[in-house]
Chains A and B, each alone.
Chain A
Amino acid sequence: MTKRRIRALREKFVLITGRTTKQAIGMHKGKESEAYIRAVTRVDMSDHDMDRLGINEGEDILLYTLEDSIEAPVFKGNLPEGMLFMPMGPVANRLVGVDTSGKGMPSYKGFLVEVERP
């Protein structure tokens, strides 16, 4: 019952993953470096969505897909409403499914995630 209530409160977003400058530079420092981990453990959200959901910058949110869930701080990004962006890397990839539609390529961009506050 509790689970059902929490699920109902989740917001659906489209997640895009991609390269960022900080992620690429962090990679040269090593993928266990603080710079890299900080660069790939973040979610960008539009101003409008943050205001609508009452989320403050730097606050952690939970992202769910059928694959897994992750927790990461949210930051204001220049994005359309209903879209999230995460830097490519091991954190975002926990949410990516392995289905490749018979082409070898997973959907790293434009897949649905559910968002909830911890």
Chain B
Amino acid sequence: MSTLIENAVCTFCGCLCDDITVEVDNNRIVKTKRACANGRGLFMEYDATPRKPLIYGKEVSWEEAIAECASILENADNPLIYGLSSTSTEAQKKAVELADRLGAVIDTTSSVCHGPTALAMQTVGEATCTLGEVSHRADLLVFWGCNPAVSHMRHFSRYSLMPKGKLVPNGRKDRSMYVVDVRPTASSKVADHFIQIKPGSDYEVLTVLRVLAQGKKVDADQVGGVAIEQLQQLVDRMKGCRYGAAFMGMGLTMTRGRDINVRELFSLVSELNKFTRFSVIPMRGHSNVAGADQVMTWQTGYPFAVSFARGYPQYGPGEFTAVDLLARGEVDAALIIASDPAAHFPRGAAEYLEQIPTIVIDPEKNMTAKAARVFLPTACCGIDAPGTYYRMDNISIYARPVVASGRPRDEDVLTGIMEAMKLC
């Protein structure tokens, strides 16, 4: 007999939709309602059957696997702890504690998504709001370098474009939407206005928008392939809206300029508050990457790229970020939690993981796990484990499990490793 569970939390992306209905039969999710294609994939493809850990691909007991992890990490001179974006804040806190005890470097997937956004935020601050405010108030939406129709499929319907809010009672009809990108996308198709800029020109275009917002003239006909008149129209619309919300993605952070692109957008948004109410929200990709930033900042003072090698936290983007450390071969062991750098890092960094003892804690045997010395198959938060997650607007949401699990949680495994360690 199947059971219906209402208001389950989807822990795939930073939207953290908490209105999903799942149908469970024989401890397996057989149907979902309201989940997008990504959420459906997460719920339907996951098998909560307990699995044994692997050392060199061979099944071992949990005690053996945890002892091996403790031995690898204790014997390393400069271990790296990386990932954390798809696990709970409870596990993230344990990972920071472990890094502190080991004198390890700890970095999160923020470094290859919104790390530059954090750098910009530290420079110029962030005028931000919640998605609730956007859904109830925003009459102007600007999506810059992001494609939520593909990456955050329910963002438009649940939070930004479509909802009927208190001050936008007609939903879509009361809102105007701009997309700025280097190519037409599924998101630009549903926008009222699409501004196509040349690749690598975000900084220049944003700087000109700031100048125009201050009422100054620009001695040029176009910038970044866009006519100044078109940018002036956007600025006029921004200054004239009642409540504006900008959303930015990796079109800004992964391209030339990185953090200074984001800095220009954040500065523009701050300056627009002289004329109206305007906010910006980074489109966080992984389900709890915002939580990873939160926990790292509570515990260490910094959002990512932290080394405990000197006995206290040191911050070093470019120095203590995972891609740089692996590319330079500066770590001698790695503990990867809830992420898959072998699939998502440049080859020159990913390959180094095969040369050092690597431990993977993840519900799935991902590409990194396949080449790892130790793989620990844990429960998946929101499906067979509970946990606290942070939505892209930094609202915390507690994800309840929807099926029973015989698998340990990530935080249980990390606690076990710390207990098995002889040091400290």
Contacts and interface: CB of A to CB of B under 8 A. Distances in A.
Interface stretch (B22-30, B266-274, B340-348): B340-348
Interface residues of B, number: 54
B258 A93 contact: no
A7 interface: no
Interface string B103-124: 0000100011001100100000
A101 B41 contact: no
A27 interface: yes
Given A21-B37, A24-B151, A25-B41, 10 more contacts: A21-B150, A21-B153, A24-B150, A31-B343, A90-B344, A104-B323, A105-B115, A106-B323, A110-B199, A110-B254
B367 interface: yes
A98 B327 contact: yes
B41 A90 contact: no
A107 interface: yes
Nearest to A96: B346
Contacts of B304: 104
Given A90-B343, A103-B115, A104-B317, A80 B196 contact: yes
Contact of A98 (B41, B150, B340, B346): B346
Chain A, interface residues (CB within 8 Å), range: 35 or more
Given A20-B150, A21-B150, A107-B256, A93 B350 contact: yes
Interface in B191-205: 196, 199-200
Interface in A76-98: 78-80, 83, 85, 88-90, 93-94, 96-98
B249 to A, nearest CB: 9
B321 A104 contact: yes
Nearest to B366: A31
Given A31-B343, A104-B317, A78 B348 contact: no
B111 A96 contact: no
Interface in B298-329: 304-305, 317-319, 321-324, 327
A67 interface: yes
A58 interface: no
